[in-house]
Amino acid sequence: MEKAVAEVKVSSIFIYPVKSCRGISVSQAPVTPTGFRWDRQWLVVNYKGRAYTQRVEPKLALVEVQLPNEAFVENWEPAESSYLVLKAPGMDVLKVSLSTPKEIADGVSVWEWSGAALDEGADASKWFSDYLGKPCRLVRFNAASETRPVEPEYAPGHQTMFSDMYPYMLLSQESLDALNELLKEPIPINRFRPNILVNGCEPFSEDLWTEIRIDKLTFQGVKLCSRCKVPTIDQKTGIAGPEPNDTLKKIRSDAVLRPTKKQQGRVYFGQNLVCRDSLTGGGGKGHVIKVGDLVYVLKMVSSAEEAAA
Strand residue runs (E) in 27-186: 28-32, 35-36, 42-46, 64-66, 83-87, 94-97, 104-110, 113-119, 136-141, 168-172
CA distances from 248 to 6, 26, 256 (A): 27, 28, 10
Average pLDDT over residues 188-200: 98
- pLDDT over 90, % of the chain: 94
CA distances from 176 to 141, 201, 207, 271 (A): 31, 12, 13, 13
pLDDT of res. 280:
57
Is 60 a residue whose pLDDT tops 60?
A: yes
Is 5 a residue whose pLDDT tops 70?
A: no
Average pLDDT over residues 66-90: 96
pLDDT of res. 283:
43
CATH 2.40.33 residue ranges of the chain are 9-15+151-300
Q: How many CB atoms lie within 10 A of CB 129?
A: 17
Digit-coded pLDDT (tens) for 284-303 = 456 999 999 999 999 999 99
Taking CB atoms within 8 Å and a gap of at least 24, the contacts of 110-114 are 110/19, 110/43, 110/51, 110/148, 110/162, 111/51, 111/164, 113/148, 114/49
Give the burial class of 279: count Cβ atoms within 10 A of its Cβ; 0-12 exposed, 13-18 middle, 19 or more buried: middle
To the question of pTM greater than 0.85 for the whole model, the response is yes
**Interacting residues of 293 by C-beta distance below 8 A, sequence separation 6+:** 9, 10, 214, 215
Q: Please state which CATH class domain 9-15+151-300 belongs to.
A: mainly beta
Is 115 a residue whose pLDDT tops 90?
A: yes
Residues forming a β-bridge with 294: 9
- pLDDT over 70, % of the chain: 95
Average pLDDT over residues 259-282: 87
DSSP of 249-287: HHHSBHHHH-TTSPP---BEEEEEEEE-S---SGGGTT-
Give the burial class of 24: count Cβ atoms within 10 A of its Cβ; 0-12 exposed, 13-18 middle, 19 or more buried: buried
Name the nearest CA neighbour of 189 among 19, 10, 14. 14
Name the nearest CA neighbour of 6 among 301, 257, 294. 294
pLDDT of res. 285:
57
Residues forming a β-bridge with 221: 273
pLDDT classification of 279: cutoffs 50, 70, 90: low
Cα 131 to Cα 127: distance, rounded to the nearest angstrom: 6
